[in-house]
Amino acid sequence: QDDAGRLGLGREALPEEIAAWDVKIMPDGRGLPEGSGDVMTGEEKYLEHCAACHGDFAEGLGNWPKLAGGEDTLDRKDPVKTVGSYWPHLSTVWDYVHRSMPFGQAQILTPDDTYAITAYILYSNYLVEDDFVLSRDNFLDVAMPNADGFIVDDREETEYPEFSGEPCMENCKDSVEITMHASVLDVTPNDPDDGDGG
Amino acid sequence: MAGKSVTTSRRGILRAGLAAGVALPAAALSARAQGGPDPLITEVQDWARYTGEGVDETPYGLPIRFESDVVRRNVPWLTADPISSINFTPIHALDGTITPAGCAFERHHSGAIELAKPDYRLMVNGLVDRPLVFTYEDLERFPRHSGVYFCECAANTGMEWAGAQLNGSQFTHGMIHNMEYVGIPLKTLLDEAGVKPEGKWIYVEGADASSNGRSIPIEKALDDCMVAFKANGEALRKEHGYPARLVVPGWEGNLWVKWLRRIEVTDGPVESREETSKYTDTLADGTSRKWTWVMDAKSVVTAPSPQVPIRHGNGPLVITGLAWSGRGAITRVDVSVDGGKTWKTARLAAPGQPMQMTRFWLDHDWQGEEMLLQSRAMDDTGYVQPTKSALRAIRGENSVYHNNAIQTWWIKQDGSAENVEVS
């Protein structure tokens, strides 16, 4: 593209600035920095930074996310979606932990910390042994169990044809029965003055 | 809750009025019941004698206190804490299509951050001819663009997949707002940096701790996305991304990255946390759809509804609601009062516009009968909003996101209403 039509606003981003903000990791490992971490170091770091919410074994406490477990539950009622049972790429674990965790104190983990904690999460999911050392070199060797569990949005083929066309306007069904009531569950926040909140 | 204290103080005022011997509202009612004249008309009221507030009273106003129930509401059990959480727009109490920003829903992953314009920076990097940094002042110098669009959370109505759960359209359908945005076409910014031919995607992320990074195909980025800095005429609210957010017409709200700080042109999707662990839709067989970006045609009756019971007795009743589609314009909304046996086509307040909310009304003569109230939206692609059982037949109950099913309210003979499912 030539420069015609360009307004000339903004300035060139400096390499240091790009390095500071562009920390994303691609699924093929591009973006991973030098460094490494083993499971045992990861356990130490994890207990310090993560266990208060995610549990000592990455099993999750209270409503906080479970990071481990849930194998073979995706086709059941209430599937348990964790790094081990659901996440397709290890790059996402490294990227998200490094960028956005711990919750409330993000971006304090060094690359080595992040390799180590990622190794511990893998160990908690029984995906590596306790002497495993994760680094940029072996990053893609880790097999993620649900790597093939995703399909690209297919509503165009599976739904739109069925949900298109002139809909029924009269005598669309013989009878109508109520099959489920929200008030039976009674989980809506209540305002004493207003019935159901508002 | 603010609403409660206001209600209490309002009662306090009524009591104070009683003590001072001011005309009793109850007496007024009973006089009317006997066919007498209405003291609100025959007696000079305070507001007709004394002055109201001066123009300096409120430099930036809030709604009158009698509307204190028209507020965002949270459902604490939905999330682990209120920082990475959701609240709900009071759609049950609104009319028209524009959502007041002050009660438009919020969804944050690490809270609503405070980012001043002088501290704001936007970086465009990656597969571009020249990586750039913009200040907020730079953004204001680009040619502007405007548009009205709905922003619907992918999880809107998500709690209802397995059954009828929450009692009120605010809770079942309130993860949505519809605003008039002004900003810059994303294409303009990308052209300024010069997208290289191998740039097929963009990765967008916010300045907050969660970053909310998402990947978007370059075709959408160059089509109708915009970097917005004004909504409904004024600067974005803090909680809506001040001073700049991404607007992604028709696509799931998670992509509308707030406090936008970086746009990277890439050769592929990053497959970030928000497009792998989250915002992927698990089907009955355990596989999951990814990149389900578009929000399908959807509607809901906002009144009458569980939070808006019928209190006026028999006769004329306004049935009203909202419809929207991420694929284009709403062309028609049908309403059923008998659970979908028969349908009538409602009036649209204005012709539907692409990726905007549309208001519909059906004027009904209610004679105290029970109703199973439903609405069914159609868009200009010919798509007809499906029933929940039709969606479940394809997806199962574990999709979490993208529930655009027809909603049913059971209106009882006393005018109260409940969220139900019907056969």
pLDDT at B21 over 70: no
What is the secondary structure of A50-67 as a DSSP string? THHHH-TTS---TTSPP-
Nearest Cβ partner for B166 among A13, A149, A187: A187
Nearest Cβ partner for B167 among A96, A171, A183: A183
What is the four-CA torsion angle of A18, A22, A27, A31, rounded to 10 degrees?
A: 50
Distance CA B369, CA B412 (A): 7
Distance CA B311, CA A175 (A): 28
Distance CA B146, CA B243 (A): 16
Radius of gyration of chain B, Cα coordinates, nearest whole angstrom: 24
Quick one: pLDDT at residue A195? 47
Nearest Cβ partner for A195 among B141, B270, B307: B307
Whether the Cβ atoms of residue B298 and residue B169 lie closer than 8 Å to each other:
no
Average pLDDT over residues B210-225: 98
Express each pLDDT in B80-92 by its tens digit: 888 899 999 999 9
Paired residues of B134 in beta bridges: B122
Instruction: Note whether B285 contacts A: Cβ–Cβ < 8 A.
Output: yes
Nearest Cβ partner for B262 among A21, A26, A194: A21
Quick one: pLDDT at residue B79? 86
Instruction: Note whether B382 contacts A: Cβ–Cβ < 8 A.
Output: yes
Tell me the ipTM for this assembly.
Answer: 0.94
Neighbours of A186 (CB within 10 A): 11
Nearest Cβ partner for B192 among A7, A17, A149: A7
Distance CA B116, CA A82 (A): 37
Quick one: pLDDT at residue A198? 52
Task: Kindly tell me the burial class for residue B54, based on how many C-beta atoms sit within 10 Å of its own C-beta (0-12, 13-18, 19 or more).
Answer: exposed
Q: In what order do the strands lie in the sheet with B107-108?
A: B73-74, B85-88, B107-108
Q: In what order do the strands lie in the sheet with B298-303?
A: B298-303, B315-324, B358-366, B347-348
pLDDT at B187 over 80: yes
Distance CA A112, CA A128 (A): 18
pTM listed for this prediction:
0.93
Q: How far is B419 from chain A (nearest CA, A)?
A: 5
Distance CA B1, CA A43 (A): 42
Instruction: Note whether A61 contacts B: Cβ–Cβ < 8 A.
Output: no
Of B282, B283, B303, B294, nearest in space to B404 by CA = B294
Instruction: Note whether B389 contacts A: Cβ–Cβ < 8 A.
Output: no
Strands B176-185 and B214-217: unpaired
Report the range of poorest mean pLDDT among A171-185, B127-141, B362-376: A171-185
What are the two backbone dihedrals, phi and then psi, of residue B379, each rounded to the nearest 5 degrees? -115, 175
User: Residues 8 to 67 of B: which have CB under 8 A from any A CB?
Assistant: none
Distance CA B306, CA B167 (A): 6
Quick one: pLDDT at residue A189? 75
Average pLDDT over residues B67-93: 93
User: Residues 71 to 110 of A: which have CB under 8 A from any B CB?
Assistant: 74-75, 77-79, 81, 86-89, 91-92, 95-96, 99-100, 103-104, 106-107
Strands B201-206 and B176-185: unpaired
B195 three-state secondary structure = strand
Residue A164 one-letter amino acid: S
- Measured between beta carbons, which residues in chain A are less than 8 angstroms from residue B372? 176, 178
Quick one: pLDDT at residue B5? 42
Of A195, A101, A94, A176, nearest in space to A135 by CA = A94
pLDDT per residue as tens, chain A (198 positions): 456 679 999 999 999 999 999 999 999 999 999 999 999 999 999 999 999 999 999 999 998 999 999 999 999 999 999 999 999 999 999 999 999 999 999 999 999 999 999 999 999 999 999 999 999 999 999 999 999 999 999 999 999 999 999 999 999 999 999 999 987 666 777 654 444 555
What are the two backbone dihedrals, phi and then psi, of residue B179, each rounded to the nearest 5 degrees? -135, 160
Express each pLDDT in B342-354 by its tens digit: 999 999 999 999 9
Question: Which numeric CATH code is attached to B298-420?
Answer: 2.60.40.650
Distance CA B187, CA A6 (A): 12
Paired residues of B216 in beta bridges: B202
3-state SS, one letter per residue, for B344-373: EECEECCCCCCCCCEEEEEEEEECCCCEEE
pLDDT at B8 over 80: no
Distance CA B343, CA B319 (A): 13
Express each pLDDT in B311-320 by its tens digit: 999 999 999 9
Instruction: Note whether B86 contacts A: Cβ–Cβ < 8 A.
Output: no
Distance CA B174, CA B181 (A): 20
Question: Where in B213-297 does DSSP place strands (E)?
Answer: 214-217, 226-231, 234-235, 245-247, 260-266, 281-282, 288-290
Task: Kindly tell me the burial class for residue B413, based on how many C-beta atoms sit within 10 Å of its own C-beta (0-12, 13-18, 19 or more).
Answer: exposed
Question: Which numeric CATH code is attached to B83-289?
Answer: 3.90.420.10
Express each pLDDT in B273-314 by its tens digit: 999 999 999 999 999 999 999 999 999 999 999 999 999 999
Total residue count of chain B as it appears in this document? 423
Whether the Cβ atoms of residue B186 and residue B177 lie closer than 8 Å to each other:
no
Paired residues of A150 in beta bridges: B288
pLDDT at B108 over 60: yes
Whether the Cβ atoms of residue B4 and residue A192 lie closer than 8 Å to each other:
yes
Domain with CATH 2.60.40.650 in chain B: 298-420
Q: How far is B292 from chain A (nearest CA, A)?
A: 5
Quick one: pLDDT at residue B26? 54
User: Residues 394 to 423 of B: which have CB under 8 A from any A CB?
Assistant: 394, 397-398, 410, 418-423
Distance CA B44, CA B340 (A): 50
**B75 vs A74, A150, B82, B159, B220, CA distance in Å?**
26, 30, 9, 11, 33
